[in-house]
């Protein structure tokens, strides 16, 4: 099933202008039927899930404390 730019933007709570920019940049794949751009909803849902997973993994990485270096010795 294909969705319009407006439907896709509503589904992901993103401004239509931003979704359109992503389509024009090629970040979101779409087809143009002569009147409007249509986005394959299944393909986009998979892309969006992967993007959310990457964001989650980056958050985990950012919040992981840096372990103490075993080679550093406090000699004060």
Q: Residue 76 pLDDT more than 60?
A: no
In DSSP terms, which residues pair with 32 in a beta bridge?
Answer: 37
Average pLDDT for residues 38-44, to the nearest whole number? 85
pTM above 0.85, yes or no: no
- Percent of the chain residues past pLDDT 70, beyond the cut: 92
Asked whether the beta carbons of 14 and 21 are under 8 A apart, the reply is no
Q: Residue 73 pLDDT > 70, yes or no?
A: no
The backbone torsions φ and ψ at residue 34, rounded to the nearest 5 degrees and listed phi first, read 105, -35
The tens digit of pLDDT for each residue in 43-72 reads 878 877 888 899 999 999 999 988 777 676
**Which residues, including other chains, have CB under 8 Å from residue 57's CB and lie 6 or more apart?**
none
Rounded CA-CA distance 68/66 in Å is 6
Task: Output Rg (C-alpha) for the chain, integer angstroms.
Answer: 20
Domain ranges of the chain: 2-63
């Amino acid at each position: 099933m294909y969705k319009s730019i407006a439907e896709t933007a509503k589904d992901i709570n993103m401004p239509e202008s931003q979704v359109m920019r992503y389509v024009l940049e090629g970040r979101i794949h779409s087809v143009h039927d002569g009147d409007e751009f249509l986005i394959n909803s299944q393909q986009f849902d998979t892309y969006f899930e992967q993007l959310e997973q990457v964001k989650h993994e980056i958050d985990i990485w950012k919040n992981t404390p840096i372990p103490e270096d075993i080679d550093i010795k406090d000699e004060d």
